[in-house]
Amino acid sequence: MQIFSPILRSIKIIVICLLFPAIAVAVEQDTLIASIKNLTAVEKIDTLNYFGKHAYANQDFILAEKYFNKALLLAKKIKNIPYQAKMHNNIGIIDDTKGDYTFALEHYKDALNYYEQNDDKDGIEKVYNNIGIVYEELKMFDKALGYFKESLNLKINKKKKDFLSIAGTYNNIAIIYENYLLKSDSALLYYRLALKNYKIAGYQNGKGKVCSNIGLLHFRQKNYQKADSCFKTAYTVFSKQKNKSGIASVLYYKANVEIEKGNFNKTISLLNRALNISNDLQLKSLKKNILKAYSLAYEKQHNSDSALMYFKQYQMLSEELLNSKKLEKVKNLEQKIVLEHKNFEINLLKKDKEISDLRQTRQNILIITLLILLVSIIIIFYQKEHRKKIQNEIELGKAKTRLLRSQMSPHFIFNSLMSIQSFLIEGDVKGASKYLTLLARLMRLLLSYAKESYISLEQEIEVTEYYLATEKLRFGDKLDYILNVDEAIDKYNTFIPPLMIQPALENAIVHGIMPCKTKGKLTIDFKIIDADLMVTIEDNGVGYKSVKKNSKLNKRSFSTNIIKERIQLIKTQFNQKITYQIEEVYPGRQSCRGTRVTFRFPMDY
């Protein structure tokens, strides 16, 4: 008979599930308890686990949690460690879904402890992945990444690999690298690994999702051709799978590409198709983004009426979604309170002999519940205000950075225009035209790169070369310059904050070399020193200290202060320590002592 006991147990559970399917979504649990009272403890746990999963699938999280808690108590009673681990993991998933991240982590770590005691690799791998999801939602991305990678290692080392699960973890890791750690190359690598495993698993919708993610990565890098190609692949996959929500999302992504290309007729056509699908499927979040895209497209076409109309619709839907989330939280809270109150009443009616004790217990529990609720509300309010404060500080830093960038350019623009005027007055039309061409290209690069937080060294060198060419044309034989770049530097994959070098060059030429009677020489070196990028700007001008003493040339100190303030803002905003040093080259000379400016950029961000 012992051989057939597992089979009989499974048959009993199946019979109960078939006879009482409505129990899984009912608030009254007594019928279920009565129906399984003759089962063994393990059979009861399996049955409760089944109904818990059924309630979770129906999004009745409170009822699901009650079933799992009852199963957990039974598992503890019979000291069954595998079932205790499974129930802790299930309860953790519910707490995570409800946003109770602290409780979710506690249950996951209890589950992990039990799985580790039994050396259950499958269980450990699942819990690692779940903990990673919680830390991602808490914006603790380094921890999330660590747990995802631990989970991934266990999945990869299995003899029988679950390629679908592996692909999902690769995709999670890629999202963190792209959106939060801002490492596009790493993100692209993991997206491609996710795509490979989805193909092996034969899961086409996963393939379409990853293609969309890769397309979005290229879109954010302004590589619209590659982005469009990825979106086309995703669209083909979703179309074959008849995945309407996937099709709608890809149409919206393609529309954004067309906005950047200036193809507004095609943009509106794509948005119309995406909007129709989102309306049919009631995809309100996607619809909100589509309405915002309409507004942007019409704004770029200078159709202010249509842009305003869609923007108002976008705002209304955003408020509706926000309010619906708040109402859902209130509804869940009310349901929880009502359910707990009803359970208390049922227990009081069943135990007449202990009525006085139960009343006191009920009062105590209600007080504790209210206190917990009050503390939870205070914690949520504090976290919200804290996040808001941090966000405001970041935005203020960005605003200051943009302001400082704008302060660097007017002086140079004015001098450039005066140089063009000088060419024209002297009748040198070709010289004026050449200078104007160089200036136009330089300004285009300045305006383009000023919007970025970081640009490649190749781009910074390009700006530097155009600037030096304009100044050479302006001052003629009075100025010579040499630009040296260490061959060991990967110019295309080395990134620095934009427009840091140009103000220092302007100082060297205008305030250092020009006041000196000798022929000016400017040397710019880019080198790798101790894993840092070192940029040195050296001139043979009047010298840094001489400029400081001359009140008429105090523009240099102003520019120096701006550079220092930008460095401080970058340190605050990006936690990147940039060093800046200025010194005289020949301090012993009476005149033309020269100035050396040194920047040191860390390359490990």
The pLDDT of residue 599: 94
Within the chain, which residue ranges are assigned CATH 3.30.565.10? 393-602
DSSP 50-115: HHHHHHHHTT-HHHHHHHHHHHHHHHHHTT-HHHHHHHHHHHHHHHHHHT-HHHHHHHHHHHHHHH
What is the pLDDT of the chain when averaged over all its residues? 81
Mean pLDDT of 206-214: 89
Show the CA angle centred on residue 212, arms to residues 208 and 217, nearest 5°: 150
The pLDDT of residue 462: 92
pLDDT one-digit tens code per residue, 362-413:
788 888 888 888 888 888 888 887 776 676 456 545 544 554 454 445 666 7
Q: pLDDT: is 157 or 597 the higher one?
A: 597
DSSP state of 139: T
Residue 546 has pLDDT above 50, yes or no: yes
- SS (HEC) of 441-503: HHHHHHHHHCCCCCEEHHHHHHHHHHHHHHHHHHHHHHEEEEEEECCCCCCCCCEECCCCHHH
Gap between the Cα atoms of 391 and 379, Å rounded: 18
Long-range CB pairs of 107-110, under 8 A, 24+ apart, other chains included: 108/134, 110/84, 110/85
Gap between the Cα atoms of 236 and 225, Å rounded: 17
Mean pLDDT of 187-212: 88
Cβ pair 413, 420 in contact under 8 A: no
- Which CATH code of 3.40.30.10, 1.10.238.10, 3.30.565.10, 3.40.50.720 fits the domain covering 393-602? 3.30.565.10
Q: Which two tokens stand for residue 390?
A: 């941090």
Q: Please report which confidence band the pLDDT of residue 276 belongs to, taking 50, 70 and 90 as the band edges.
A: very high
Mean pLDDT of 89-94: 89
Helix or strand holding residue 177 (H, E):
helix 163-179
Cα 410 from chain centre: 35
Q: Please report which confidence band the pLDDT of residue 339 belongs to, taking 50, 70 and 90 as the band edges.
A: very low
Q: Find tokens 């020009």 and name the residue.
A: 514
Residue 551 has pLDDT above 50, yes or no: no
Model-wide pTM > 0.75: no
Task: Say how many residues make up the chain.
Answer: 605
The pLDDT of residue 507: 85
Task: Please state, in angstroms and as integers, the Cα–Cα distance from residue 568 to each residue in 97, 149, 404, 532, following that order.
Answer: 40, 34, 12, 18
Residue 82 has pLDDT above 80, yes or no: yes
Mean pLDDT of 518-546: 90
Cβ pair 449, 459 in contact under 8 A: yes
Find the range with the poorest average confidence among 5-14, 299-308, 451-460, 493-502: 5-14
Q: pLDDT: is 584 or 32 the higher one?
A: 584
Q: pLDDT: is 15 or 141 the higher one?
A: 141
Residue 556 has pLDDT above 70, yes or no: no
Q: Beta-carbon neighbour count of residue 82 at 10 Å?
A: 14
Residue 54 has pLDDT above 80, yes or no: yes
Gap between the Cα atoms of 528 and 411, Å rounded: 32
Residue 119 has pLDDT above 50, yes or no: yes
Q: 256's torsion region: left (phi>0), alpha (psi -120 to 50) or beta? A: alpha
Q: Please report which confidence band the pLDDT of residue 278 belongs to, taking 50, 70 and 90 as the band edges.
A: confident
Find the range with the poorest average confidence among 25-34, 43-52, 210-219, 226-235: 25-34
